[in-house]
Every structure is written in C-alpha cells, then in structure tokens.
Amino acid sequence: MMATLLGIAGCRSPERESNSAAEVGLGEAPDPVVPANPIPMAPPRLWLFETETDTAEPAEFTGYGGKWSIDRRYPSPRYYQSLCHEPSQTSVSSPYEVEKGRQRKGDIAIADGAYFANVDLSAYVALSALTPGASAGLAFSVRAGDDLYLGRISADDQRAELLRIRPRATATIASGSFDLGAGQWHLLRVRAFGGEVELFIDDVSVARGSTEVIPTGMVGLWVSGSTAACFDEVAAAPR
C-alpha cells in the first residue's frame, strides 16, 4: 500500500512552540541502554498517534536527536496525523557521541518499555525528499544508540537494507532495491527470529539474511540525513 505525503519537510507548524529537550536536539538526553538484569518481554503493542496533541513527542516514545513531534498536517494512509522527525543541525552535520570515542549517525525514537527478543515490527514510513544520505526505518534489538539492528529504506540508489550497527562499525545483512518516491508512504515490516531476519516493503519481501542470534532489546524508529521523515501505525509483537 502506498500513499502520498505532501509538504512533509516542515513537520511542525511555524506557530507551534515547545521548550522540551526533544525540541532542542536532545543533546541533554542520554542514549538508550538496555538494563543488565533480566527483562520481561513486552506483549503485542500498537502505537497510533490520533489522540496526541501539540507535544514534542508522543507519550510512549523517547526521542534521541533531532525533533520528534506529532503533526496532524501530515496524515498517514489511514489516520489524520503521524509522528514526524525533523533533523537538527547538530544531528546532521556532527553526530553527537553516545560515549567517549563513539558516535551515533542516526536519530532514534525508542518505544518506552517495549523489549523483545524475536519480533515482528512494522510501521508506515515516508521520506520527504530523496536527498543523498536520507534514510528511515525500524530499529530492533536496540541495546544502545550505536548498538542495534535496522531495517530501512534509503534514498541512495533506492535501497532497502537490513543492517547490524555496532560501535564504530556497520555491517549489511541483506539488501534489495525497490521504487522509492519522495513523499510516498510505504509499509515497512521486519521479522526477526533467532538469527534469521527479513524485511518487507508494502507486503513484498525485499531483503532476507542470517546473522548471529539476535539479543533482546528495545524497538524504535530511526532516521538519518538531512531529510524529514514521518511514521504511523507502529506495531510490534513477539514471534
């Protein structure tokens, strides 16, 4: 399923104002870290943003980098508003450190308290423009800002990719090409079980690969580059 997103690049009305950490680039917020103690697995979750109002970020997500906000000007295929991310100058030109000597090149919004081992994760995603380096997708098994797995769509060569991001290194698990349009909504879905992971776009499998056994971690939404992106109908369930 695909729909068109018009004028997404703004992602917030000029008259809207907020003084929260999320609206000033989140330089003050620490990066997410999974607790060392045993973690109870989350039940199936569905995040819709219809009841949210003019807040810096939705009640059940925490943003790290850029500006995360609800905006009803940018409806998703089935709802009147969505969660939008607008990159900050800091997050685009100089990725901030998560620890000394380590950097995170993308901005992320983590679903609070949603820990999964094997997971089925999906969301509608749209990029405002196909600028070089622009990408957006679904993060899973997130253990820190630079330690996660990612299924994303990328403006570079219109690629769909499954990535393993580690401190100081990124490895491609699998990739494929598809027809990506600026401002178009795409349904992304990642299915991970054990060491097998697969990425679907609009219900079509575009990348599939194997890796080490994927550890328990958080799930979230991920954006990189200088292009705004929006998300809606985020769903996660254990497999």
Query: For 213-239, what is each residue's pLDDT tens digit?
Result: 999 999 999 999 888 899 999 999 998
CA-angle at 176, arms to 134 and 148, nearest 5°: 60
**pLDDT at position 39, please?**
67
**pLDDT at position 101, please?**
46
Query: For 20-43, what is each residue's pLDDT tens digit?
Result: 333 323 334 456 666 655 567 889
**pLDDT at position 23, please?**
31
Residue-wise pLDDT tens for the chain (239 aa)?
Answer: 445 444 434 443 333 333 333 332 333 445 666 665 556 788 999 999 888 875 657 789 998 888 899 877 778 888 888 999 988 755 433 333 344 444 556 899 999 989 998 999 999 999 988 888 889 999 999 998 889 999 999 988 889 999 999 888 899 999 999 888 888 999 999 999 999 999 999 999 999 999 999 999 999 999 998 888 999 999 999 98
Q: Dmax of the chain from CA atoms?
A: 48
> For residues 163 and 170, what is the distance between their CA atoms, to the nearest angstrom?
7
- The DSSP bridge partners found for residue 205 are 200
Determine the CATH number of domain 2-11+22-27+42-238.
2.60.120.560
Domain spans of the chain, in order of start: 2-11+22-27+42-238
**pLDDT at position 34, please?**
65
Question: In Å, what is the CA distance from 194 to each residue of 165, 181, 191, 197, 228?
Answer: 17, 33, 10, 8, 33
Q: Considering the chain, what is the average pLDDT of its residues?
A: 80
Contact 57, 63 (CB under 8 A): yes
Contact 125, 151 (CB under 8 A): no
Of the candidates 162, 147, 170, 177, the one whose C-alpha atom is nearest the C-alpha of residue 210 is 162
Q: Strands of 159-166's sheet, edge to edge?
A: 61-64, 107-116, 217-224, 135-144, 147-154, 159-166, 169-177
Residues 80/78/188/227 CA torsion (nearest 10 deg): -30
**pLDDT at position 33, please?**
66
> For residues 27 and 22, what is the distance between their CA atoms, to the nearest angstrom?
9
> For residues 103 and 101, what is the distance between their CA atoms, to the nearest angstrom?
7
pTM over 0.75: yes
How many Cβ atoms sit within 10 Å of the Cβ of residue 213? 10
Q: How far is CA 222 from the centre of its chain?
A: 3
